[in-house]
Structures are given as C-alpha cells and as structure tokens.
C-alpha cells in the first residue's frame, strides 16, 4: 500500500519541485501538492508561524497547515547547502523542526538532509534512510534518486534566455532581483513580473542566466577584492546584479525582498552601494510582507518604469542616477 505524501508548494519547491515530485513518484508514493498560495493559505500560516519570520516562510507554514490533515507524511527536505562553501539560510536549515514544533497535528515529517558542503556522501546517506518512512526498501530509494535526477536534469536542459533575446532594442528591460520562491509565487510577489509586462517593459530575472554564468560573475566580483558571500542565492543575486551594473544590459533594476529576510538585508545594502557608486542604472527596492498592498506596488512600479522610459527615449542615460536608490522602506 502506498503512502500519501504531501508536498508544500513553497520555498525551494519552486527550484526543485520537479525533482521532488519525480523522486516521490519513483518511490511509489502518491503525492499531494498544496494549491498555489492564496489568502486562506497565508492566513493559516500567519496564525501558526512566529511573527518575526519572513513572508515566504509564513506562507510555507500555511501550505503545511493545508496539507496537515489530508496526508500520511509531509515531504520537507532540510536544505543546508547545495554547493561547497555556501549555505542556503538558517531558517531553511531548521524548517522541519520549526514545523514539528508549531503545526498542531502535523503528520510524520520526511526530512532528508541536503548538505552538499561536505560532498555528496552525507546527502545520499540521508536520502537512503528514507526507505521506512516511504514504505519502500533502501535499494528502491537509491534507484529512485538516481532515476529522478537523471530525468529532471535531462528535461531541464538549458533554460531559454527569457527577456534579453526576445525584447527589441526599444523595449525597456527591467532586471528583477529576488529569490525564486518570491518571484515565482504570484500571490507573495503581488504578481510583480506580470505587472512589469503589463506596463510594457520586458522583465529579466536571474533565471535567464545559467548558474555557471552567475557564479562566474560573482567570482569576478570577489577577485576585485570583495569578500565572498556564503549564501548560495545571495551569490546568484549579487552576481547578476554586478553583471547588470557593469554592462548596463538592463535599463533599470527592481529588487523585491521580503521583510525580515536575513541575507537580503545585507545583499540589498551591497547592491545599493554598488549601484550608487556607478551611478548608471536606476534601482528600486521593494520590501514585502503580509501587509503589502497591491495598489502601493502598482504606483511605485508605474512611476519607476515611467522614469526609466523617459531616461531611455530622451537619450539621457549618460546622466547620473540619483546617488540614493529609491527605497520604499
């Protein structure tokens, strides 16, 4: 008899969702995915999560609460590190324990530890131990892991260059910085990407570049004397940001950050500092939390894109931007 495993649609599901679902399918588990974030889900999350956590973590708690009564087990991997010398975020390292402690009536939590900072060994061992929890043998888990990884990576291939190639020379290109789990969730990000599209600009995200490219730009930045970051997603954002500031391949940058996000509070400061030093690319920082309102975002975004458009069509891009970034905090 197969178990029903719930997969919350939040946080790193947006990055590794396909792999997670394929792995569970290969293990003969029936999966149940929570719906796209909506008002009820966020509300449920706010009730059980601590106030100080960031918005995506609160939403994740909502997804867990939605699934809690309906499944036999919850699949919440503990993401510690996905590359050598860098971590994800302390909150994600403690996520399964936070859920165990705070979600009333939570089912069994299946939490393999993903820690690639010390090589593949620990992670593979931790995943192989999932057998009893998923009611399959160890060997079965191992083949499922190998197969699912092969299939997902083959399917993923190279991602298409999103806005850059398609957008014409006159289109305004807006670089959008932010964590994938915020940008890919239209409820959390207040549909930022589509809002930019509707305003006639072409959004470009870090997802338009391969991981190798962004890592290269970040290392290049480090060679100029800056200390390397130790958060994987921070490295990606910083790499893309320094590329955009160096080449000017986008006309403006919008940085969407969640209030209370530890790494982003520092990365945003570094990006703001570098943008104001170069003085060539306008930057808009937007902080979101559960009280953010759609109208507030629309107004700011319209004003920002209007300004960027004027700057571009009047050939005023040689003029310096304001040394201070537009900051909506």
Partner 1 sequence: MRVTFPHLGNLWIPAKAFLSSLGHDVITPPPTTKRTLSIGASHTPDGACLPLKVTMGNFIEAVELGADTILMAGGIGPCRLGYYCELQRRALARAGCNAQLIVVEPPRSDFRGFANVVRTIKRRATLGHVLEASRLAWAKFQAVDALDQAANMARWREVSPGDVDAYIGRGLALLDAAETCDDVRHVAEQTLHDVEGCIEVTPRQAVHVGVVGEIYVVMEPAVNMDVCKKLGRLGAQVVQPLTFSHWIESHVVCDIARWIPKPDVLSWSRPYLRHFVGGHGVESVGHSVEMARLGLHGVVHLAPMTCMPEIVAQSILPSVSLAEGIPVMSLAVDEHTADVGFDTRLEAFVDLLLANVHENGKTPPYPAACPVST
CA angle 95, 119, 85 (to 5 degrees): 70
Q: What is the spatial distance between Cα 35 and Cα 37, in angstroms, rounded to a whole number?
A: 6
The answer to whether residue 261 forms part of the interface with partner 1 (CB under 8 A) is yes
Which residues make beta-bridge pairs with 192?
A: none
The answer to whether residue 53 forms part of the interface with partner 1 (CB under 8 A) is yes
Shortest CB 265 distance to partner 1, Å = 3
**In the set 3, 12, 229, 237, which binds partner 1 (CB under 8 A)?**
229
Which residues make beta-bridge pairs with 255?
A: 177, 285
Chain centroid, CA 179 distance in Å: 3
54-93: contacts with partner 1 (CB under 8 A): 78, 80, 85-91, 93
What b/e sequence results for 190-215 when a residue is b if at least 16 CB atoms lie within 10 Å of its CB, and e otherwise? bbbbebbeebebbbbbbbbbebeebb
The answer to whether residue 101 forms part of the interface with partner 1 (CB under 8 A) is yes
One-character DSSP codes across 14-71: HHHHHHHHHHHHHTT-EEEEPPSP-HHHHHHHHHHS-TTS-HHHHHHHHHHHHHHTT-
From 159-167, 171-179, 190-198, 224-232, give the range in contact with partner 1 by CB under 8 A: 224-232
Measured from the CB atom, is 115 or 251 closer to partner 1?
115
Shortest CB 222 distance to partner 1, Å = 11
Phi, psi torsion values for 37, nearest 5 degrees: -50, 130
Measured from the CB atom, is 153 or 273 closer to partner 1?
273
DSSP category for residue 207: G
The answer to whether residue 250 forms part of the interface with partner 1 (CB under 8 A) is no
The answer to whether residue 102 forms part of the interface with partner 1 (CB under 8 A) is yes
Shortest CB 229 distance to partner 1, Å = 7
Residues forming contacts to partner 1 in the complex (CB under 8 A) are 49-50, 52-53, 78, 80, 85-91, 93-94, 96-98, 100-102, 113, 226-227, 229-231, 259-266, 268-270, 273, 287, 329
């Amino acid at each position: 008899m197969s178990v029903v495993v719930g997969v919350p649609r939040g946080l790193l599901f947006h990055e590794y969702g396909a792999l997670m679902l394929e792995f569970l399918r290969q293990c003969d588990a029936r999966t149940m995915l929570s719906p796209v974030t909506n008002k009820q889900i966020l509300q449920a999350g706010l009730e059980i999560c601590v106030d100080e956590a960031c918005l995506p973590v609160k939403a994740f708690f909502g997804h867990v609460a939605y699934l809690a009564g309906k499944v036999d087990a919850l699949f919440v991997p503990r993401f510690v590190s996905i590359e050598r010398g860098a971590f994800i975020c302390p909150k994600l390292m403690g996520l399964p324990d936070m859920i165990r402690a705070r979600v009333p009536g939570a089912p069994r939590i299946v939490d393999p530890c993903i820690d690639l900072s010390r090589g593949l060994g620990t992670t593979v061992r931790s995943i192989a131990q999932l057998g009893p929890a998923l009611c399959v043998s160890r060997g079965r888990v191992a083949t499922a892991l190998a197969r699912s990884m092969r299939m997902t990576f083959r399917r993923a291939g190279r991602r298409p260059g999103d806005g850059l190639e398609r957008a014409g020379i006159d289109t305004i290109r807006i670089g959008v910085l932010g964590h994938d789990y915020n940008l890919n969730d239209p409820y959390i990000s207040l549909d930022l990407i589509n809002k930019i599209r509707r305003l006639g600009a072409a959004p470009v995200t870090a997802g338009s570049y391969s991981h190798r490219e962004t890592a290269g730009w970040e290392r290049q930045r480090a060679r100029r004397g800056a200390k390397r970051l130790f958060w994987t997603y921070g490295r990606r954002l910083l790499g893309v940001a320094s590329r955009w500031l160096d080449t000017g391949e986008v006309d403006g940058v919008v940085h969407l950050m969640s209030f209370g996000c530890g790494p982003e509070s520092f990365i945003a400061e570094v990006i703001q500092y570098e943008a104001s030093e170069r003085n060539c690319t306008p930057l808009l920082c937007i902080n979101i939390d559960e009280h953010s309102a759609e109208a507030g975002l629309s107004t700011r975004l319209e004003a920002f894109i209007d300004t960027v458009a004027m700057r571009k069509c009047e050939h005023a891009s040689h003029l310096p931007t304001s040394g201070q970034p537009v900051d909506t905090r």
